[in-house]
């Protein structure tokens, strides 16, 4: 006789899966500092990224601490939601250590590129030089890029309505960040967004092109081809695409 589950038992799944300990730590740190900002606004001045302070007084810690500050409830909610939605699956693929390394490299790298951008002799760059930049968006944009490279055709709902392939979504967001960063009225956060995309791409590309990794790949391919020749199996070529894991 076939058994059926009790009527009160049901299953429901939402999002990319459970929140890992690494994501809990990142989200928790952001939430704690957001509360601290509310009661002690001076924290925003000390830990937010001000390029003028990094250049003149060498407050280099701001290149990392700005990632954990936010300017409002919607700012932190959407950033943490994106961290979970895109970060959970990438962490499962990469492992926690590589995921955290990528997150901090892209976040700090985006901050550093923002400081460099602020030194350009243009009006839209000079306003960045004296601005206070906060938010995890630099690292989030890096995660978004990585997600698009691993899952290029997976739909992302832009504005929660329009399904767009991840690769197109990232291209749109990158274009918006670029043109906003060179506008007279924008540039503060958008320069950091663009920096996150650039650093994320270079990080993944450099990991894939690492000489030791390439040497290991060539050696493994040589051994596989030797075995294939023994059994008279045809060896296909190497597909040069992002389906291969970058690390």
Widest CA span of the chain, in angstroms?
Answer: 79
Low-confidence ranges of the chain (pLDDT < 50): 1-14, 185, 233-247
pLDDT tens readout for residues 172-188: 887 877 766 565 545 56
> What is the SS3 assignment for 194?
helix
| Run of H or E including 156 | strand 155-158
pLDDT tens readout for residues 110-126: 999 999 999 999 887 88
Q: Which of 210, 37, 46, 69 is nearest to 139 (CA)?
A: 69
User: Where along the chain do its domains lie?
Assistant: 21-208
Residue matched to tokens 């924008």: 186
pLDDT of residue 122: 84
Answer whether 142's CB lies under 8 Å from 199's CB. yes
User: How far are the Cα atoms of 28, 40, 45, 65, 112 from residue 105, in angstroms, in the given order?
Assistant: 19, 28, 23, 13, 10
How is domain 21-208 classified at the architecture level of CATH? Up-down Bundle (1.20)
- The tokens for 213 are 């990794």
* CA–CA distance, 87 with 13 (Å, rounded to integer): 17
Residue matched to tokens 């810690």: 61
- The tokens for 150 are 């691993």
* CA–CA distance, 45 with 39 (Å, rounded to integer): 13
**Residues ≥6 apart with Cβ < 8 Å to 169:** 144, 148, 156, 158
* CA–CA distance, 210 with 99 (Å, rounded to integer): 18
pLDDT of residue 13: 41
* CA–CA distance, 75 with 246 (Å, rounded to integer): 31
User: How far are the Cα atoms of 40, 54, 137, 191, 233 from residue 224, in angstroms, in the given order?
Assistant: 61, 51, 43, 46, 10
* CA–CA distance, 131 with 76 (Å, rounded to integer): 19
């Amino acid at each position: 006789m076939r058994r059926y589950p009790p009527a009160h038992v049901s299953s429901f799944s939402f999002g990319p899966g459970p929140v890992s300990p690494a994501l809990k730590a990142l989200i928790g740190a952001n939430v704690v500092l957001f509360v601290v900002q509310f009661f002690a606004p001076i924290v925003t001045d000390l830990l937010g990224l001000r390029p003028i302070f990094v250049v003149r007084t060498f407050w280099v810690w701001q290149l990392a601490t700005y990632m954990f500050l936010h300017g409002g409830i919607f700012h932190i909610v959407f950033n943490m939601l994106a961290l979970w939605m895109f970060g959970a699956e990438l962490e499962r693929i990469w492992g926690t250590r590589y995921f955290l390394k990528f997150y901090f490299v892209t976040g700090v790298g985006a901050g550093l590129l923002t400081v460099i951008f602020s030194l350009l002799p243009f009006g839209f760059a000079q306003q960045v030089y004296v601005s206070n930049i906060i938010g995890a968006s630099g690292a989030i944009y890096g995660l978004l890029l990585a997600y698009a490279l691993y899952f290029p055709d997976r739909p992302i709902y832009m504005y929660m309505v329009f399904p767009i392939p991840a690769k197109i979504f990232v291209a749109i967001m990158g274009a918006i960040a670029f043109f906003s960063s060179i506008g007279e009225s924008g540039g503060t956060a958008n320069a950091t967004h663009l920096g996150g995309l650039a650093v994320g791409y270079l990080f993944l590309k450099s990991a894939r092109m690492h000489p030791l990794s390439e040497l290991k790949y060539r050696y493994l391919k040589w051994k596989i081809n030797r075995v294939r020749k023994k059994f008279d199996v045809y060896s296909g070529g190497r597909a040069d695409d992002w389906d291969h894991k970058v690390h």
